[in-house]
Structure 1
Amino acid sequence: MAKRRSSRYRYKKTKLILLGTSFLVLMGVGGVFMEYRASGYSVAEIVNYLERRVEGHPRLEKWTTPVFARIRAWDGESEFQAQAAQPFLIPPPPPRWGVVALKEGEERSLIEPYLPGGWLIPPSPVHRTLHVGPTEPIKSISVAASMARDGDVVQIDAGDYHEDVVASWGQNDLLIQGVGGSARLFADGRSAEGKALWVVRGGRIRIENIDFMNTRVSDRNGAGIRFEKGDLWIRNCLFFANENGLLTSDEESSSLVIENSEFAYNGAGDGFSHDLYVGKLNSLVVLASYFHHANVGHLFKSRALRNDILYNRLTDEMGGRASYELDLPNGGTALVLGNIIQQGVDTENSTVISYGEEGMSGPDNVLYLASNTLVNDKEGAGAFLRVPKAGARVISVNNLLVGYGEYHVPVGLVSSNDLKADWQVFYRPLRQDYRLEGPVDERLHYETPSAMLAPGIDLVPHAEPVVPRQVSVLKRAPAYPGALQILAP
């Protein structure tokens, strides 16, 4: 009898221990849920995280699975999953653009202060010009790439190209440009070195008026351009329906400049490929460009040591599935000035701008966020800005925040005249027209930032983005917070 009582006692004791342990674990899960919810994560993100935490614990999985399913149903995630299960629809590409002439005067002065020094050195004397086109002696882009020498100009007649379009460029001081309009290149299953339509690894190469379309490769990293080494300047180019729009290496001595360009419908759908993915370059400058409709990946991801992001549109819009709109995972020095940044309703992530999520790698980690219009259309939760770890400074001034969410910055945030408003302040927000509609609420006024906030950094906007990939120089001092100063008619 004593032995039987002992066994029963041990059984009851073990059951109590299991129940107590399960209760403590569930309490911990609940605590994590509340903590993450307070940090602006969506219910779906939290449930996914908690499911990973209990994975491998059969008893907990048995108890939590119906609970998580009920939470998802309550949050409407079943509707989201059904929506996400639909194919990512890629429309026909937009019409080919005409040639954008080199800017002079006021507009050129917008980008010159941010250019790496080498770009301001006059290029070496032009050796010759190579003409490519159906009626030219050179009919193949790949042949022109093999013939080009340092200092050459390669001109490609406007039109659609499906044959012999892949190329590797390793020359120095090279200008490659579409003439008479954009030259549109279709990969059609081909790639250079199994990487991209074009692989670029030369010194000071400028590419203008070229469209890069539909690149697919075996590792699902097919890019319009794979930039591996040197200095590259992209002007008036379109990256459309590739697995990556533009993908770079981690060459720390290289620089990349992107101007008046468009990145749309890129991404393999795996979350690891993006509209733009910049590795650990020395510097990145992006001006007057348009990023939209990424497939699960980010609109804009950069690990560069220095990022100057000026007067752009990063708007995922209806049908886009971008995760982050702007991701700077390794910190560094970043100036984000005068941009429209919008998160759509179908995003898989509640964060609009992420900074330093994978650890700070720069010697000085500071984010300057000035005169941006930040819109979060994802209902229920969110973070306009998330800095998950200490070790960085954030200087945020004159930003206009509309929609769901807050700033989630643990320490080091200095905020001045960052104002929240409702969608009704905009002219046509459902069409991503974020011009303010007059008369403007008197609360929405611009305050000149103190020079002490950012010594040597100009936080005052001198232009505003114009649809789709242009910029308009301001004729007067800014009057309102956010990216747009011209009121709707």
Structure 2
Amino acid sequence: MKLSIPLIAATLAVCSASAQAATLTVGPYEAITRIAEAARLAKDGDTVLIQPGTYRGDVAVWRQRSLDIRGIGQRPVLEAAGASAEDKGTWVFAGGRFRVANIEFRGARATDHNGAGIRLEKGHLEVGNCVFEDNETAILTGNDGEAELRVRDSIFSRAPQDSLSLHHLLYAGRIRHLSVEGSRFHGGYLGHLLKSRAARSEIRYNLLVDGREGRASYELEFPNGGVALVVGNVIGQSRASANITMVAYGAESAVWPENRLVLSHNTLISEGWRPALFARVWGSRLPASTTVVTRNNLLAGFGLFDLVLPGVHQGNHLLLPGTLETESFAFSLPEDSPLRGQVVMSSPATEAELVPTAEFSFPVGTTPLVMPAKWAPGAFQSVGIRLRPGSAGLPSPSPASR
């Protein structure tokens, strides 16, 4: 068999890159003591390991084409302390493919009041097992239509309590794809817990419960439409919120060719005494081809859901206020609830995106879902929220708890 010259060259390039990949370790007793120095020295394909500790004002711009960056052991803390890379955030990714794991980002600030723990300009970024606290925006992306962001098993909390800007905990611009799974959002202030302008947003198995002290506006917003798949989440609005809408879609008109909102097997809780809009769609600002599907959602509190939504609605159930409680994490139905079995199940063959395959597990992460004999509406088929191994228990979902 003959190999073409381009194929041989490509193979040699891959082998060469693999052979030359290095591991750079950052720490107070290492040869490299500053993360910014590692960002300058790292080459494409390298791995950067960060030792435990607090790194104050150690901001960086990452310009490689591919890189893995991981905290070792106890999660290292990046305290911005007034510093900002390119006046954008603690870490700025200019392009390429990056994976970030086990890092804590605190206190990001910028002169435009959009200081991000992580700023993704272009490229593909995976974030896992990270914590974002007290940042003007935890993760903020640009508007590159080819960019992709995937977030798993991470915590977003404590938006700054000022009115200088709307501090969203996660804000995806007009990128190709956003995926958020197994993560927890709480402690918003005036801005939204999660805002996405992406062409495709997949929000699965998360705990988006603002908490007793939270004052977020929307819990989820998709202002430019697009495909928004919201499956298996707990979404809770604080009684202190200034907004009555929890999930907002199409408020600023559509920019993508396909527009579809799917809400399936979510548990939505309004803690206030005023009527809420569990979801709102701005139909007059969206194309006539826009579709909305809600199925098997569990709603607790005063408010309206499918009565004010266009589209197809099946298997949704409204509970009285107080039936589900965010403070005690009482999100699931009792074993003997008459609502068990009162669902309209989707066909895995034709509507797989509507069928949950996992559940959120505390404090972050997911547990594979064991298919029940009788499906229940809402985010949990089991009785009680699942705990990750080693979890000490369930604290109150206030901004101070992590």
> 2:163 matched to 1:266?
no
Aligned to 2:336: 439
Superposed displacement of residue 437, structure 1: 3.2
2:359 to 447, 459, 464: 464
Aligned pairs (5 A) from 1:211-250:
211-250=104-143
2:89 to 182, 192, 196: 196
Which 10-residue stretch deviates more, 409-418 or 355-364?
A: 409-418
Q: 1:388, 1:410 within 8 Å by CA — same for their partners in 2?
A: no
Partners of 2:335 and 2:323 lie apart in 1 by 8
CA distance 1:219–1:413, shift in 2 (3 Å): same
Deviations 1:312-348 (A, max 9, x none): 0100011101000000001101110000000000101
Deviations 1:394-453 (A, max 9, x none): 111000011121126766410010011124543x5433431323432x13435353449x
Aligned to 2:393: none
Aligned pairs (5 A) from 1:20-31:
none
Aligned to 1:132: 26
Q: Which letter maps to 2:358?
A: A
CA distance 1:194–1:409, shift in 2 (3 Å): farther
- Describe the SS at the equivalent of 1:298: coil
Aligned to 1:379: 273
TM-score, reference length from structure 1: 0.71
2:56 to 158, 162, 172: 162
Partners of 2:189 and 2:314 lie apart in 1 by 34
Aligned to 1:117: none
> When you count strand as a share of all residues, which structure comes out higher?
2
Q: 2:306, 2:313 within 8 Å by CA — same for their partners in 1?
A: no
Partners of 2:147 and 2:84 lie apart in 1 by 23
Aligned to 2:199: 305
> 2:300 matched to 1:405?
no
Structure 1 gap ranges (5+): 1-120
CA distance 1:455–1:409, shift in 2 (3 Å): farther
Superposed displacement of residue 192, structure 1: 0.4
> 2:219 matched to 1:348?
no
Which 10-residue stretch deviates more, 464-473 or 342-351?
A: 464-473
Q: Which letter maps to 1:459?
A: L
- Describe the SS at the equivalent of 1:458: helix
Aligned pairs (5 A) from 1:53-452:
125=18, 127-163=21-57, 165-267=58-160, 268-270=162-164, 272-390=166-284, 391=287, 392-407=290-305, 412-423=310-321, 425-426=323-324, 428-440=325-337, 442-451=338-347
- Describe the SS at the equivalent of 2:242: coil
TM-score, reference length from structure 2: 0.86
Partners of 1:396 and 1:228 lie apart in 2 by 33
Superposed displacement of residue 183, structure 1: 1.2
Deviations 1:277-320 (A, max 9, x none): 11000000111000111111000000000011110010001110
Q: Which letter maps to 2:303?
A: G
Partners of 1:259 and 1:429 lie apart in 2 by 22
- Larger Cα Rg: Structure 1 or Structure 2? 1
Deviations 1:162-205 (A, max 9, x none): 25x10000111200000112111001111101110011122110
Q: Which letter maps to 2:227?
A: T
Q: Which letter maps to 1:474?
A: L
- Describe the SS at the equivalent of 2:40: helix
Partners of 1:340 and 1:140 lie apart in 2 by 39
- Describe the SS at the equivalent of 2:215: coil
Partners of 2:340 and 2:214 lie apart in 1 by 30
Q: 1:419, 1:444 within 8 Å by CA — same for their partners in 2?
A: no
Partners of 2:123 and 2:342 lie apart in 1 by 40
Aligned to 1:38: none
Aligned to 2:375: 479
Q: 1:388, 1:409 within 8 Å by CA — same for their partners in 2?
A: no
Q: Percent identity?
A: 39
CA distance 1:160–1:433, shift in 2 (3 Å): farther
Partners of 1:423 and 1:480 lie apart in 2 by 19
Partners of 1:470 and 1:171 lie apart in 2 by 29
Partners of 1:311 and 1:443 lie apart in 2 by 21
Q: 1:338, 1:371 within 8 Å by CA — same for their partners in 2?
A: yes
Q: Which letter maps to 2:153?
A: N
CA distance 1:133–1:371, shift in 2 (3 Å): same
Q: Which letter maps to 2:224?
A: N
CA distance 1:411–1:242, shift in 2 (3 Å): closer
Supply the RMSD in Å over aligned alpha carbons.
2.3
> When you count helix as a share of all residues, which structure comes out higher?
1
Q: 1:214, 1:241 within 8 Å by CA — same for their partners in 2?
A: yes
Partners of 1:365 and 1:410 lie apart in 2 by 18
Structure 2 gap ranges (5+): 1-13, 386-402
Partners of 1:193 and 1:133 lie apart in 2 by 24
Q: 2:209, 2:326 within 8 Å by CA — same for their partners in 1?
A: no
For this pair of structures, how many residues does the alignment match?
Answer: 365
Deviations 1:11-50 (A, max 9, x none): xxxxxxxxxxxxxxxxxxxxxxxxxxxxxxxxxxxxxxxx
- Describe the SS at the equivalent of 1:234: strand
